[in-house]
């Protein structure tokens, strides 16, 4: 009888050791793995991208808009803001104020009075801390018809480098804003535009 109890105690210890080894092996299976163990794992999703407008003091019409993730630039395009003025409080002339601009909405068929087609509408924001001057009706946009095609008049037709100038909005070439939308539709849209200089 004693030998039977010893045998059972030995078997119990063996089963416990095997279970512990099995749990340790399961912990070593990387997330997202489809190992033959039958474990179900949840893949880790990538962080949302960041949209950054980097103002160029030597030439505001030759600044950069980029999509970044974890400090790495995934894509970058030439972009302009303002008509050459670096005064962020000069409404309808100065470049976009530095800060984090909430993205209110986006559309590929925007139909504003001046802005049409691909457009990202940003929040209203004061031009600098402590100022009462607010920059309103700020967008990331281009020059095009509502359906994304090129029109015949200046406000609807992209003619070249001079069209990077704006009333303060971030402005891209038509092909570039379409590429921006395509990329962000694939990677996920950020909640804000970060403006730096």
d(CA 15, CA 4): 17
Tens of pLDDT, residue by residue over 102-126, are 999 999 999 999 999 999 999 999 9
Name the band, by pLDDT with cuts 50, 70 and 90, for residue 44: low
pLDDT at residue 53 greater than cutoff 60: yes
pLDDT at residue 8 greater than cutoff 50: no
Tens of pLDDT, residue by residue over 146-161, are 999 999 988 899 999 9
Tokens representing 62 are: 């030759």
Look at the block and give the residue holding tokens 């470049």.
Answer: 95
Q: What pLDDT score was predicted for residue 82?
A: 97
């Amino acid at each position: 009888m004693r030998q039977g109890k010893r045998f059972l105690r030995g078997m119990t210890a063996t089963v416990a050791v095997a279970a512990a080894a099995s749990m340790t092996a399961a912990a070593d299976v990387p997330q997202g793995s489809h190992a033959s163990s039958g474990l179900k794992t949840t893949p880790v999703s990538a962080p949302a991208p960041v949209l950054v407008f980097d103002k160029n003091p030597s030439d505001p019409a030759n600044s950069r808009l980029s999509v970044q993730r974890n400090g790495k630039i995934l894509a970058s395009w030439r972009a302009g803001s303002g008509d050459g003025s670096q005064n962020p409080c000069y409404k309808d002339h100065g470049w976009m104020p530095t800060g984090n601009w909430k993205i209110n909405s986006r559309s590929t068929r925007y139909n504003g009075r001046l802005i049409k087609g691909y457009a990202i509408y940003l929040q209203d924001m004061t031009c600098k801390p402590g100022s009462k001057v607010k920059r309103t009706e700020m967008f990331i946009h281009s020059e095009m018809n509502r359906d994304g095609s090129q029109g015949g008049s200046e406000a609807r037709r992209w003619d070249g480098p001079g069209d990077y100038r704006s009333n303060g909005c971030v402005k891209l070439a038509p092909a570039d804003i379409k590429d921006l939308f395509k990329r962000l539709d694939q990677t996920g849209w950020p909640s804000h535009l970060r403006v730096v200089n």
